[in-house]
Chain A
Amino acid sequence: MSEQPANTNPPSAPSEFPQAEIRAAENTWWRRAATGHLWWLTAACVILAVYLIVSAVRARGPEIAIHFQQGHGIKPGDLLRHRGIAIGEVTTVELDKDLTGITVRVAMEPRAVGLARAGSRFWIVRPRISLGRVSGLETVVGAKYIGVLPGPPDAEKQVEFAGAESPLMMLDTEVVDITIRFRQGYGLSVGDPIKYRGIAVGEVTAVELNDDQNGVDVAVRLLANASRMARVGSQFWVARPDIDLTGIRGLETVVSGRYIAVLPRPDETEPLTLFHGLDSAPPSSEREPGGLEIVLYTPHRGGLQRGVPVMYRGIRIGHVMTAGLSSDATTVEARAYIQPAYRELVHEKTVFWNQTGIDFHFGVTGVDFKADSLSSVALGAVAMATPDSPGQRVTTGHRFSYHAEAKDEWLTWQPSIPVGSALLPEGMSLPQPLRATLLWQERTLGIKRDQEKLGWVLPLADNRIIGPTDLLTPSTDAVEESTTLEVAGQKLTITADTTNTYGALAEIGVDKPFSTAWPIDRLRAPTAIEECLIVGATQEDRIPLPAARLAAEEGGWKIDPSLPINPDWHGASVLAVSDGKLIGVLTFNQAVAQVTPLTEELVFNDR
């Protein structure tokens, strides 16, 4: 219905078009929203975009590049892990232009920024399975990842690293780096451990030929608790299989890889960072401190060689360390090492002779053949004997003649020498309790019956015997005058008058002193529970008794029932570990073991 024709392109029949209705605009909220300004929405979008971008950029830590010789299948998306958690991600893996290695770029998380510093070591974790250890097993099925050992905390920032080719096992930051120079590498590789007393105390971080090409420099990282080994005098050598007739050593290195063994110097010396490694294990590594070194000389070598055992009554007590000509070539000299527990066996009058492993005797009855242990068949042994009056003890360096054969009388020598008091202060002898049998007769329903009780008693130097009360006093049911005690071939009549009782302990007097009597100055009445050692029948029978296993009760120290003690030990001696004095007696009270401590009256009773 428009009268006025429109501007440029009027419709063909404008008059037919209706005019639109005019209506008041509704003022509802959706109407306003549909027609209002939208710039606030644009602002919101900009804020969202800026926020997302900024947070994404901030979530991105430093990017580092690590050069490896081998990629081991690492690929973008693999993680950088430290102490088991992901702290970064491989973004690209590129082959170097000169084709000699690869470069792995890692985007680190911001919290890991501290790892991007000089001294950090990176390596690709991959499965390593050997008999010695298994590591990186999770990478068999999962993704490879990059491990990292952080550098020193105050080091400078760094973004380019040379990766280690072999996984490093340690993650401690308190470490000491040393270099050991060997003449031979013996196949050492990065990651091999340094072991001391069979456990790893460090790790090889690099192996390279030294500048003069006459040796191998092995960089070693020692754990913090082993840092004391980096001192003047410590000895390092590469443990490797060593098989000879005396034994097989280092066999574990055949399958599990080499390791560097270390023998630290026991005393405090100057710290050192460059060491010269030994070609083979030092002889002293087979020794404990406190042993005895003696020299054997002989006109002819006669089986003396390194590793030959020194035997006493068939027990190995030491070994020959070196054998060679004396300086003037007139004799053969061998240095032998006697273990500390057995050094008491060697006295001035001790004799050493060559014990061949096999003894042939041709006689009318045929061939008599005697052989000792297999190693002595192959090597022979150095046998020794000490006479009953052994003379003075000897010190390291004492020279002994080495005889080709034993004289018959030597084999009959039977000196009683306490040995093996390893738990006690050095040189302490051990008490020798005697087997005692208490015999008595009881009358039951008019019939006499023999009864006996067994145990151990200890003779003292002042003609006393001490032991459990029930072993030294007549039983209440016993027939009068029927109770006797048999000790070491002596028969003692026991009555209530002969015995002094002190609680669970008792003493009786004897006429004749025993040869194995215990010195009276080595008795002590303990005031509190302390570390002790039960000494039983033979010198080998010793039970260490930690104070923690003892509980003070009335009349004695109850022994933890979890510590099995044979009731046959009733009456065994108990020594204090601290000073080697006798402080008590092992007694059984209704099958419960306890230590009955000596009392002051018992100790200071002078007969």
Chain B
Amino acid sequence: MNSYRACHCCGLIHSLPDLVAGQVAACTRCRATICRAGNERRSAQRTAAAALGAFVLFWPAIFLPILEIEKLGHHHESSLIGGIIELFAHGNFFVGGIVLLFSVIFPLTKIVMLLELSLLELMHRKHKAVTYRIMETAGKWSMMDVLLLAFLVMLVKLGSLVEFHFGPAVFAFVACVAMSMLASLSFDPYEIWEVTDE
């Protein structure tokens, strides 16, 4: 089966030769690997695995306590969702909304879309295209990693002021960020079209 594919590195379009196991197609200009033999194409599987892992970890990450703060006898323990609810309760709709959007909704959308694209091969091509575009857009704004960075900065800044512990959600959070990154790295948009084509 022959098809064309742009090198993901330098953008040069190649026609793809038939490959047998153990062979890869490489770019003639930059020598990057363009494509693998059909039975070694696990991009969709890998994406599905990583996205599923991220999806499973997403829930403990947002619902379990992520921070435990103790200050002058006040003990405070809050989860991500709890923090957002608190922000809303205090009237900080803007900040709360931003955190909710970029740390919960967009990451979740991205993970779910990746799962959908890689796992469910039943979808119509048009639907797939829409999903893919949404995923691309939402993925840009998925900022779980940024939130993690914010927590780390807070730890460094407040460490001497208050007693400060990470809750169990932090492990889930870090793993979730890593898994969703792995999922988007593994995702190979070419494959979704190939599968439909066949």
Binding site for B on A (CB under 8 A): 1-2, 4, 6-7, 11, 14, 17-25, 35-39, 41-42, 44-46, 48-49, 52-53, 55-56, 77-79, 86, 89, 138, 141-143, 145
Give A490 to B49 CA distance when docked, in angstroms. Answer: 120
> Is B50 an interface position by the 8 A CB rule?
yes
Instruction: Enumerate 8 A-B pairs (CB-CB under 8 Å) in ascending A order.
Output: A19-B14, A20-B14, A20-B26, A21-B31, A22-B24, A37-B46, A44-B53, A86-B75
Q: Are B73 and A37 in contact (CB under 8 A)?
A: no
Q: Are A39 and B27 in contact (CB under 8 A)?
A: no
CB distance from B78 to the nearest CB of A (A): 9
Q: Are B15 and A19 in contact (CB under 8 A)?
A: yes
Give A56 to B57 CA distance when docked, in angstroms. Answer: 14
Contact of B72 among A4, A46, A142 (CB under 8 A): A142
Q: Which 8 A-B pairs have the closest CB atoms?
A: A45-B53, A142-B73, A38-B49, A2-B15, A20-B25, A20-B14, A42-B53, A143-B73
> Is B160 an interface position by the 8 A CB rule?
no
Binding site for A on B (CB under 8 A): 2-5, 12-17, 19, 22-28, 31, 33-37, 40, 42, 45-46, 49-50, 52-54, 56-57, 59-60, 64-65, 72-77, 168-169, 171-172, 175, 179, 182, 186, 197
A4-B2, A52-B172, A56-B64 known; 9 new pairs, CB 8 Å cut-off, are: A21-B27, A22-B23, A23-B26, A25-B23, A42-B49, A45-B56, A48-B57, A78-B74, A138-B73
Q: Are B4 and A38 in contact (CB under 8 A)?
A: no
Q: Give the interface SS of chain A, mostly helix, strand, loop or mixed.
A: mixed
Chain B residues with CB under 8 Å of A7's CB are 3, 197
Known A18-B28, A38-B49, A42-B49; contact A49-B15, beta-carbon cutoff 8 A: no
Contact of B40 among A22, A25, A145 (CB under 8 A): A25
Contact of A21 among B2, B26, B75, B76 (CB under 8 A): B26
Contact of B4 among A11, A36, A141, A143 (CB under 8 A): A11
Chain A, Cβ-Cβ closest to B58: A49
Chain B residues with CB under 8 Å of A145's CB are 73
Give A160 to B184 CA distance when docked, in angstroms. Answer: 50
Give A79 to B171 CA distance when docked, in angstroms. Answer: 26
Chain B residues with CB under 8 Å of A138's CB are 73
Q: Are B42 and A52 in contact (CB under 8 A)?
A: no
Q: Are B197 and A49 in contact (CB under 8 A)?
A: no
Q: Are A6 and B15 in contact (CB under 8 A)?
A: yes
Chain A residues with CB under 8 Å of B45's CB are 37-39
Chain B residues with CB under 8 Å of A14's CB are 4, 15
CB distance from B32 to the nearest CB of A (A): 10
Chain A residues with CB under 8 Å of B76's CB are 77
Q: Are B49 and A35 in contact (CB under 8 A)?
A: no
CB distance from A323 to the nearest CB of B (A): 59
Chain B residues with CB under 8 Å of A89's CB are 75, 77
Chain B residues with CB under 8 Å of A55's CB are 168
Chain B residues with CB under 8 Å of A41's CB are 49-50, 53, 179, 182
Chain B residues with CB under 8 Å of A22's CB are 17, 19, 23-26
Chain B residues with CB under 8 Å of A35's CB are 36, 40, 42, 46
Q: Are A17 and B13 in contact (CB under 8 A)?
A: yes
Chain B, Cβ-Cβ closest to A40: B49
Q: Are A17 and B49 in contact (CB under 8 A)?
A: no
Chain A, Cβ-Cβ closest to B64: A56
Chain B residues with CB under 8 Å of A25's CB are 22-24, 36-37, 40
Give A23 to B24 CA distance when docked, in angstroms. Answer: 5
Chain B residues with CB under 8 Å of A143's CB are 72-75
Chain A residues with CB under 8 Å of B3's CB are 6-7
Chain B residues with CB under 8 Å of A37's CB are 42, 45-46, 49
Known A23-B26, A52-B171; contact A38-B182, beta-carbon cutoff 8 A: yes
Give A21 to B12 CA distance when docked, in angstroms. Answer: 13
Q: Are B75 and A77 in contact (CB under 8 A)?
A: yes
CB distance from B48 to the nearest CB of A (A): 8
Chain A residues with CB under 8 Å of B53's CB are 38, 41-42, 44-46
CB distance from A109 to the nearest CB of B (A): 12
Q: Are B15 and A36 in contact (CB under 8 A)?
A: no
Give A48 to B53 CA distance when docked, in angstroms. Answer: 10
Q: Are A6 and B2 in contact (CB under 8 A)?
A: yes
Q: Are A49 and B14 in contact (CB under 8 A)?
A: no
Chain B, Cβ-Cβ closest to A18: B28
Give A25 to B20 CA distance when docked, in angstroms. Answer: 10
Give A521 to B33 CA distance when docked, in angstroms. Answer: 123
Q: Are A79 and B75 in contact (CB under 8 A)?
A: yes
Most buried by B among A6, A7, A36, A41: A41
Q: Are B60 and A49 in contact (CB under 8 A)?
A: yes
Give A29 to B193 CA distance when docked, in angstroms. Answer: 29
Chain B, Cβ-Cβ closest to A5: B2
Chain B, Cβ-Cβ closest to A139: B73
Q: Are B15 and A48 in contact (CB under 8 A)?
A: no
Give A74 to B101 CA distance when docked, in angstroms. Answer: 33
Chain A residues with CB under 8 Å of B171's CB are 48, 52
Known A6-B3, A23-B24, A143-B74; contact A42-B52, beta-carbon cutoff 8 A: yes
Give A142 to B72 CA distance when docked, in angstroms. Answer: 5
Known A25-B24, A25-B36; contact A52-B75, beta-carbon cutoff 8 A: no
Give A4 to B99 CA distance when docked, in angstroms. Answer: 53
Chain A residues with CB under 8 Å of B172's CB are 48-49, 52
Give A19 to B5 CA distance when docked, in angstroms. Answer: 10
Q: Are A6 and B14 in contact (CB under 8 A)?
A: no
Give A48 to B73 CA distance when docked, in angstroms. Answer: 32
Give A50 to B197 CA distance when docked, in angstroms. Answer: 38
Q: Are A21 and B25 in contact (CB under 8 A)?
A: yes
Q: Are A2 and B26 in contact (CB under 8 A)?
A: no
Chain A residues with CB under 8 Å of B65's CB are 56
Chain B residues with CB under 8 Å of A48's CB are 57, 171-172, 175
Most buried by A among B31, B37, B42: B42
Give A20 to B9 CA distance when docked, in angstroms. Answer: 13
Chain B, Cβ-Cβ closest to A21: B26
Chain A residues with CB under 8 Å of B168's CB are 52, 55-56
CB distance from A50 to the nearest CB of B (A): 9
CB distance from A182 to the nearest CB of B (A): 39
Give A38 to B43 CA distance when docked, in angstroms. Answer: 10
Q: Are A45 and B15 in contact (CB under 8 A)?
A: no
Q: Are A18 and B52 in contact (CB under 8 A)?
A: no
Chain B residues with CB under 8 Å of A4's CB are 2
Chain B residues with CB under 8 Å of A46's CB are 53, 56
Give A138 to B175 CA distance when docked, in angstroms. Answer: 41
CB distance from A17 to the nearest CB of B (A): 5
Most buried by B among A7, A22, A24, A142: A22
Give A46 to B17 CA distance when docked, in angstroms. Answer: 40
